């Protein structure tokens, strides 16, 4: 039995087993395919890549780069202090290469080669923004974590419904119908009147955050936080529930059918418990047991002639 260990693309080809007489007993075609490990990280997390003992070079090909583009050298064993991207560093005694606080720019393929240029491992990294689905009652507060320095933050709001302009006068600016920049380079903008005086920047523990107070249904929509390069940090879908008549009508729409269902279930249970009692008998019994009205007192009026 022939065993090939740690095959690479250079081992692709046709293998023939021949007898001593020269007769071909069996042929085997070997095709070496890529073994790529997939990794997923959220914006701002760390990405670790294991470096084998015989690894000599770590290359990076960004997502969307042309196939003929030269890869970026992230680490070279012969020159460990130099790299094309100035990105990442070796840790744990040189066994792991770590990229801290990854963004969408770090998406792509990572390839480790030995000293002869043979591929030892391949992996691909996908970076996505944090995703949230939030429901709040009216007049409550929404907190959006930034995951990056404040002066790099951009906040864009896309409403799910068009703003109501019926209450505006001719002198009031009309609110925009599309996406609105609420924060630009860490500075709060006052362009959209729906958010004037409602947005502030705060801090919760070690994380900066955006605080939006006194929520109403006008604030329903998607809030996207991006960094200065346009990379998506987080996406939050907000739905605000009004506490007023809408909420009461919603409860009424639930309680009225529920009461009818309970009454019907009680009637069915009664008929099963007393099968000999029909609806006509029940009505007749109610008529018999009805108390007659009290007779009014009689008054005898006599007229005397003088």
- Which of helix, strand or coil describes residue 267? helix
292 belongs to a structural domain: no
Please tell me the least confidently modeled range out of 11-20, 99-108, 176-185, 283-292.
Answer: 283-292
What is the tens place of the pLDDT at every residue in 166-200? 555 555 555 556 789 999 999 998 777 778 889 99
With b for 16 or more beta-carbon neighbours within 10 A and e for fewer, the 95-124 pattern comes to eebebeebbbebbbbbbbbbeeeebbbebe
Which of 196, 214, 241 terminates a domain? The answer is: 241
Query: Does pTM top 0.75 for this prediction?
Result: no
H, E, C per residue of 112-131: EECCCCCEEEEEEEEEECEE
Pair 220, 136 in one domain: yes
Find all residues with CB under 8 Å of 21, minimum gap 6, and list them: none
Question: What integer pLDDT is reported at residue 167 of this predicted model?
Answer: 52
Mean pLDDT of 268-285: 65
Question: What integer pLDDT is reported at residue 179 of this predicted model?
Answer: 87
295 belongs to a structural domain: no
298 belongs to a structural domain: no
Residue 162 has pLDDT above 70, yes or no: no
Which of 191, 210, 241 terminates a domain? The answer is: 241
Pair 107, 67 in one domain: yes
Structure tokens given for 135? 């429901």
Find all residues with CB under 8 Å of 151, minimum gap 6, and list them: 185, 186
Residue 156 has pLDDT above 70, yes or no: yes
261 belongs to a structural domain: no
Work out the pLDDT band at 71, boundaries 50, 70, 90.
Answer: very high
195 belongs to a structural domain: yes
What is the tens place of the pLDDT at every residue in 192-242? 777 888 999 999 888 899 999 999 988 999 999 999 999 999 999 999 998
Which of 200, 223, 241 terminates a domain? The answer is: 241
What CATH number is associated with residue 100? 2.60.40.10
266 belongs to a structural domain: no
The total number of structural domains in the chain stands at 2
Pair 95, 158 in one domain: no
Pair 135, 237 in one domain: yes
Pair 89, 108 in one domain: yes
Pair 115, 41 in one domain: yes
29 belongs to a structural domain: no
Question: What integer pLDDT is reported at residue 254 of this predicted model?
Answer: 66
H, E, C per residue of 91-160: ECCCCEEEECCCCHHHCEEEEEECCCCCEEEEEEEEEECEEEEEEEECCCCEEEECCCCHHHCEEEEEEC
Question: What integer pLDDT is reported at residue 171 of this predicted model?
Answer: 54
Give the structural domain span for 211: 130-165+172-241
Q: Residue 247, Cβ neighbours under 10 Å: how many?
A: 13
């Amino acid at each position: 039995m022939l065993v090939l260990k740690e095959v690479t693309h250079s081992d692709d080809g046709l293998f023939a087993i021949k007898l001593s007489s020269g007769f071909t007993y069996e042929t085997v075609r070997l095709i070496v395919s890529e073994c790529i490990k997939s990794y997923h990280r959220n914006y701002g997390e760390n990405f670790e890549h294991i470096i084998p003992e015989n690894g000599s070079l770590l290359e990076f090909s960004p997502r969307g780069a042309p196939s003929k583009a030269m890869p970026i050298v992230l680490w070279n064993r012969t020159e460990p202090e130099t790299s094309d991207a100035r990105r990442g560093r070796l840790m744990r005694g040189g066994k792991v290469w770590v990229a801290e606080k990854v963004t969408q720019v770090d998406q792509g393929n990572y390839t480790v080669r030995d000293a002869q240029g043979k591929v030892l491992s391949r992996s691909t990294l996908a970076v996505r923004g944090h995703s949230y689905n939030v429901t709040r009652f009216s007049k409550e507060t929404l907190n959006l974590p930034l995951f990056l320095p404040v002066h790099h933050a951009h906040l864009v709001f896309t409403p799910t419904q068009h703003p109501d302009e019926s209450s505006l006068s001719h002198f009031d600016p009309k609110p925009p119908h599309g996406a609105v920049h609420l924060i630009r380079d860490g500075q709060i903008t006052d362009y959209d009147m729906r958010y004037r005086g409602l947005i502030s920047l705060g801090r919760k523990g070690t994380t900066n955050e955006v605080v939006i107070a006194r929520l109403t249904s006008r604030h329903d929509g998607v809030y996207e936080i991006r960094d200065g390069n346009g990379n998506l940090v987080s996406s939050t879908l907000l739905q605000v529930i009004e506490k007023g008549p809408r909420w009461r009508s919603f409860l009424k729409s639930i309680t009225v059918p529920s009461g009818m269902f309970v009454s019907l279930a009680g009637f069915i249970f009664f008929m099963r418990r007393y099968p000999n009692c029909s609806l006509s008998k029940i009505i007749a019994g109610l008529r018999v047991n009805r108390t007659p009205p009290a007779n009014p007192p009689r008054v005898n009026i006599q007229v005397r002639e003088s």
